[in-house]
Amino acid sequence: MEWQTERHIQTAERNRAVALAHLNTQAHSVRPPAYEWAAVIAFYAAVHYVNAYLWEVRRYEPPDHQSRNLLVRGDPGLRPCQQHYERLLAVGFRARYVPGFRLLEQGARDLVELDLEAVRRVVRDALGLT
């Protein structure tokens, strides 16, 4: 595996750990709990999983979100997790930019435990990581 790929995987795993920690602790420190920030963290974990895949398979580092979106939607290897990535992208965007956007705990858990896990599983399987 290329060293660039490994570094993206390491960063993705670290961000995933932060997202899980946020779900379990950080979100409770403000009222109402800021579960929507789990979406932001989870999205940036997903970005690194996708970048790891793209570097290993295509030697391509997307310069922006739009270029990455084209590949997530179009690459057969990423297609199985496309809808999950798309939701992370959209919800992460709203959590960052839209006033009043909120997630309840279950919605945040869906993003981290369902959507991010789908992206992680697809990429790790494609790269031969167990």
Q: Where does this chain bind another protein (CB under 8 A)?
A: 56-60, 66-67, 69-71, 73-74, 79, 82-84, 86-87, 90, 93-94, 98-103, 107, 110, 114
Q: How far is the CB of 13 from another protein (least distance, A)?
A: 23
- In angstroms, the CA 30 to CA 28 distance is 6
Nearer to another protein, 17 or 104 (CB): 104
Q: How far is the CB of 14 from another protein (least distance, A)?
A: 25
Q: How far is the CB of 72 from another protein (least distance, A)?
A: 8
Structure tokens of 84? 């999950």
Nearer to another protein, 48 or 68 (CB): 68
Structure tokens of 8? 């993206």
Nearer to another protein, 29 or 99 (CB): 99
Q: How far is the CB of 130 from another protein (least distance, A)?
A: 21
Rg of the chain, C-alpha, whole Å: 14
What are residue 101's phi and psi, to 5 degrees?
A: -75, 130
Sign of CA dihedral 130, 11, 127, 90: positive
First to last CA, the chain: 14
Nearer to another protein, 102 or 124 (CB): 102
